[in-house]
Structure 1
């Protein structure tokens, strides 16, 4: 990689050179971070040159501050050279990108479908010629573009694509995830700073050199720009950034007026299209202006141009141009742009920027622009449009309505700081009673975490909405309140009030109402809920009803039924691109599958949910998924258990959910029990029963009683566990929860006196445990071990054999070894377990293999799993040798599909 003009960046250049050089073998994504002027753009420029020298295709985009309100502007800038390939994409993906880019009147679909379309567009192009994507000033990307690029960046490993993005310190990372590498540029050391200054200004005397080295403090841009201007102690700005901006601004007064106008127009528009800027300046002065007007600015190093684009030397140049202009000058420039730009929405925004008084007609146009932006998936753009429309509103009622809509969009965008600011501004107005309710709801929904007094307020707002005949809104508010009850363990009084409002406001037979009730009182109302849910499950359900029924049946303990209800929903959510909801569904499915012993399903669902949580920013989903992953990994003898549990616990604390902490604690207990650390298992699990413990949760503990009893009997805590079992026995009288009763039957048999144990083992084994294979095998192991201790070795072997075979089939390595040990002690030898071929596959590989075994093509699999078809092909090439096969035809037999 050529390093001309760059000093002190050898290590960083080596990293970028390696990634660009290896792009034909593996893809990657790198985020370069640092303060203004630290050299981020210079590194990207060198990477572009190195890519071009290697015959790679380079696509570029630059984030600009004014475009943060234009949905998919950055993505369109990056992918514009590839849009000729759009017709080759599958129809849903083609329509998704066309809608996102305003090439059709369709509403933009879920962001993830747009992400998949972008990924496949890049993948197909890279198959012909590897790609290097260069995104500068990524902190100014519009939010939808940043989200799509993050989605793509996490899926590049198998693609001949390298993504290099640069962003300024002080902004949240645009790209994040374990798949991404980050380079943080520090200031140059003294030797490198002196070398750079010597190259830039060899004529400086020692005094001036020392002064500039002190002022620049190792910042490369300062070392190259400050020598062009004499900076004295008595007039220098206080910060380095201000000094740099001042250095650029000092070059403006010497430029011709038409050149300054051209720079101002370009700074306010930011598209970079020289023709558009020239048209606006021509309209501004009334006379035609050509590109010759730009030459003086190029000569003093403020801008560069290739004849089609105008690029500022640095973002500080753009800022200097706008800050050194007057308000009337900026208004004239905005109006000139509004008269000459081709797109309606850009015209409206510039007119709004020029407005200095309320204008109801303009506010209505901005609102329409915001609605169009939201339709295209641009939540941030829509929020900005509604906020600006509110400020331009002459009608107070319209102003309040627009402010509240802007706050709702800011919540949807994930900006609680903006929500809070907008609600404060709205509350200062004369807000009518009905709008005060809406304001309260927005505030409650935007509170960080899920604890606090907001549950009661949401409930009262729901009651008011129901009294006003707004049942749909009442359901929305009650659902939010019920989730807080589930995940944050609300007080008994709060739960009672939520239930009271549910029964007054909602149809008690509606499945959505049943889900709300199951979140609030899954045990106390378990009998009636299970009866209604089982009756509903035999009827056709739409996706919303199937989700609600699946979640509700999980809450009340019928985990096998929940798995059955959610299974057909998963492919439909994938097809619709609803990956946020898909992540939640997969998490519930993974939790259910872990507890019933369907470990293949548990591990694949948890793996996918954990990955999707990164795409949809759902820490609660990721925490539960990691807990399930860790538990299954331990049961199957895998690695990375403690790391996964530690991250899950950290996320649980982050979201303030004792429900999540309880799931993590149960997973820790399962792991310790599996590994024979019974005292530790007791310590972990008993925390679920302590009301003062952060991991206490009345529902999650009901899933743990069998494990707790086993840990207690093996560690000398039998007497301590009996009152805990008795407490759940009392609850079991009120609910037929299968999960609770399976655990209690196991606990009774383990804790029974010798003269009662046989009868209790028989009763437990006589229950319908077909849908609960792991629980049945553990009960058989415990029964066989009890029989052997009673010197009934011959009788013990049948249940021990059944337990061993089930554990082997499930891949529960440790439990299978214990069954073999018991059989050996009874006088019977067992063959060592032969691992199933599918156990060699990662969770994602297993899922791909299953879909390929069903006959799906690589493109169809990629569309379902939101991967490129090339990535699917790469996985299959790894899968075949692991399974000892050479074709897709043999997949079904190899994985036992």
Structure 2
């Protein structure tokens, strides 16, 4: 529940209440400056602050002039009497700040006005020479700042519900994401959509044509532009042609001006909150503003500017006219970062440049901080990588044979990295090289970038091994072997495991023999040989129990639980998972390898037992991160389809939508990796009830379980449509149209959509790509036109073929030209 009618500002109101207590109690209270870009809600927060200050028995003045009148002899009789403490609230910057500061100083010097008041001031966070700094300097008082951030998901959702009176559907929420969390833009967009009757009674977004922004949004943005200089408006309009992000030098070239000449308008646009500096250059803060400025340019002028832009950059792109697509792109682009996101970025930079010691210190600091439990395993894994890549892998074990806790391992890693290097100190330290390569590989894998991860993994394998490093030589080979199994390259995985076997010595066999057993068991699970997998996992369990390696015992129990789940033996699976939970309380570090994720196994067990409510509860609480967890979607090619299938059972469309976004972005980020693209295609085909896509997944999945799931999904769909599976093999052209998740209507396979129906069957990006392909353009040429990669174009094209029931580019062209 929000406080005082505000949404998502509970923390800020608490800060204000604390400040008002300071005003009442401290001899010289500081100035509190509320900062934020235009439209972020500074004025609304100050209105609430006035009411809150009165509850704290403060006398509130809303201007320096009012303060002056109230504090001088002969003040008007109607002026409120002073309490023992007062507060001056300044919303907008004064037109003549120098005069007001002098007046305020005279007020504070007035002997009758003691003790001094508190000052609450709102100002633009990017303002040059801000008024708050000048007041602080002139009056000699300290200054605190309260920065207003954009509204996050739940708060934005609550604002929309307040406006429309009912819970918003996902399509409308996607459109609202275009506002980038700016409260004023959210209100303008939603009220504009309502005025134009584009919001349904159930809180859904009605997609109408033409797909222009609501008039109210365009008017609000145009009023904002009217307050800027002509040079700033020109910079913004040229920027919209260059793309959401662009370089200042590109804008200068289009405007035929020097970069230095653009610095004043650049400062004005950044100060106003329309542009921001990023690693990519300059970026429009909100996609809604990007689109609105683009629409403010006459169409003929836009066409001419696009021609000019092609001479400067090949990466320019126009904002899509579909609010839902634009919003989904914003969600992907501006995912609210977790603490691990920031830490991971810093770690990757340190490791990739060889600063392993600094990376270890950063990991130790992060793990000692306040971090969600599900984000800690990655950092624990990095600790394992670093200690196992250095010269003494047995140092990872305590005296009783158990794996040391993560803090102990990090301390050991730090000590080893601080040891003097061998005599040939002029050469690169192989310990450091391997530690860095392995840790970066882990970071990239956790982020869902498989190619980069395996590239760094091979770099770790290729590091020349010194005699001191012999005990740890098998480790990089086994880590990479596990990843190659995930990527369906069983041949390379087998070679890596064999090399690891050959490198084993009597000294390190105790550590790595159970690892080899469990990796081979995982490979057998994916191929469907569950009996052999069970034997290998039990051999690994026996080896781990013999030497008391608790982490490996837990890993082996998880693998055995997975085997039982694949064989649909829920009692055996529950027994092994129960053992995992017991060990979780004793093991304080993650395994050295990417193991079966127990939380994922929890969901599979509940589903096997038909305990839908229990699984729903987990997905709403402790397991809520799983549907968008990129490593899980990467390692389990059937996981995305499972979440879509479960969303149908639980009547939770949002779960399917969140999963599809994550897995399709994963496919885009991993071009050429068949397992990932098939996982995305399988999930989308299941969501849209597309038999062609399900048939492809059933035929091409290399993972046994994913292939069996796709086959079952196809058979279920055909049974619902009363289509004989043998007849489907011959016709392979059934077209389906999605009404909603789990509710589909079949279309006669001989009747394809008419031209006016294409708008409903294909999305905006698909329609554009289909039109270009029908004109004879290659995938690469289309990619240049729509500013996507050829791989992404090919991904869309396969879906277009299935939706329209065509089998070739020629047939697609004929289809369009006959309409």
Q: TM-score range by the shorter chain?
A: 0.3 to 0.5
Structure with larger RCO (C-alpha < 8 A, sep 6+): 1
Query: Structure 1 length as normaliser, TM-score?
Result: 0.33
Q: Higher helix fraction: Structure 1 or Structure 2? A: 1
Query: Structure 2 length as normaliser, TM-score?
Result: 0.36
